[in-house]
A and B are shown apart, each in its own frame.
Chain A
Amino acid sequence: MPNTVDKALNLLRFLPRVCLANIRDNPGSRRGPRRGRAQHGGDKHGAGNKGSGQRQNYMRIGYETGNNPFYLRFPWEPYYKGHHLKRQYPPLSMLDLQKMIDLNRIDTSKPIDLVAILNTGLYKLFPDQHQFGVHLTDDGADIFDAKVNLEVQWANELVVAAVERAGGVITTAYYDPHSLQAMLNTKKFFERGIPIPRRMMPPPDAIEYYTDASKRGYLADPEKVSEERLVLSQKYGYKLPKIEDDPDYEMLTERKDPRQIFFGLDPGWVVNLRDKVILKPQEEELLKYYAS
């Protein structure tokens, strides 16, 4: 049976190396620019016949030949009021997260927080554009199969159910823009030589979300969260895995303090990367401030 692939590969053995001299574009893929001369390109020069098209004297944008135009009919439109000030959470699908885990871009033996997701380089965040963190979407929730300790900024019920069904733990936590800037480029932040700041509390319209156990908020009571875990397992119809019997229980329940930005580093510390030293405050006033 003549195998076309084998034939082609045999040919390839004897053909010369590909270089600019022996390749060309597919015919018709590139059309040269039309100059304003001769039959094609000349004559009316793409401006058509008469009218404002040829005479280049257009009416202003939005003008409706006399009647009250759409853009002037409504004195105000409250639908978009404050839209430029609202908090944004750029999405990350569960499918993407599963891919990152499968391709060893994220280490599941440690807690996964925003820093870990940013360090993969695949997820970008811009805090100066009112972006406040990761919104884990439910696209790929039915195939999610990794036992993780996840900390995101926004997650809906189906996502929480998918993570807990796989035997993991998910928490939603808030980070203020200054903390986010520090987390984005941690090395650059340490090189500034300033003490690690305290993480600020969520704004008033977000406090309800982050203190809610059903949303797995970081300020919610873990006992209530345990009850909600059962509720969700009953709603979505899966058997709740026993995390207390899991050998990774300690890793799965590891959490940051609400004022902490990085795991293992307290607010107030100065990290000196060059001398490989951490400087901690000793003054009582400072200690009191950073522990408040």
Chain B
Amino acid sequence: MNTLKSLGIPTYNAVYNSLFPNLLKRTVAYKSALSLNNLYPNSSLKLTTLSLPPKHGNEKFSGYIPIEELDITFSRSSGPGGQNVNKVNTKVDVRFHLQSAKWLSDEIKEKLSEKEGYLIYKSDLTRSQQLNLADCLEKIRSSVRECLIERAEPSPETTEKIRRKLERAAKERLLIKRQRSQLKNDRQAPQVVL
């Protein structure tokens, strides 16, 4: 007798029965050729929570800011906007004490400390509180990075050039002043001393 199988037609066998659901419990999940362990064989495929970014070389500031150490307050923004601007707290105020900040190096603290105590960053750029907070953090990061830029000092030839220019300018100014004063003097009647 020719069965369907012998004729080459694909057959199905009932393997799962709803009356006895635990009879053949699945132990292996479905894995296709495109599953993640085939695409990334060297990865652990686990979703984890990193606390610090991976270090890249000798950079002084990686851009990481511990959010818990910042004092964030929300308030209402200024400007037009009707009921929305009157009611929604979209303005963000971020403060932190500079000297006691552990996440900044002393070099950065020195350059940032124009005023004693707290550094305040505010933003009401967008209509969204979250985006304004992101803007505040970006301001903090950009001000820190600006401190770390090493400005090139002018060469001795340039400094000498500048000094000579200033001297010449001063001489010129004094000459004009003297000439002016002489002119004023000539307008007066001469003082005859007998």
Contact = CB atoms under 8 A, between A and B. Distances in A.
A131 interface: no
Contacts, number: 143
A65 interface: no
B7 to A, nearest CB: 12
A226 B50 contact: yes
A226 B31 contact: no
Mostly, the B contact residues are loop
Contact of A161 (B31, B40, B130): B130
A138 B53 CA distance: 27
Interface residues of A, number: 54
B51 to A, nearest CB: 8
A257 B30 contact: yes
Interface string A211-224: 00000000101110
A249 B39 CA distance: 23
Nearest to B132: A237
Contact of B130 (A158, A255, A277): A158
B148 interface: no
Interface residues of B, number: 46
Interface in A216-239: 219, 221-223, 225-227, 229-231, 233-239
A233 B65 CA distance: 10
A277 B68 contact: no
A282 B9 CA distance: 12
Contacts of B45: 221-223
Nearest to B48: A226
Contact of B14 (A222, A253, A277): A277
A222 B46 contact: yes
B18 A276 contact: yes
B98 interface: no
A230 B10 contact: no
B10 A198 contact: no
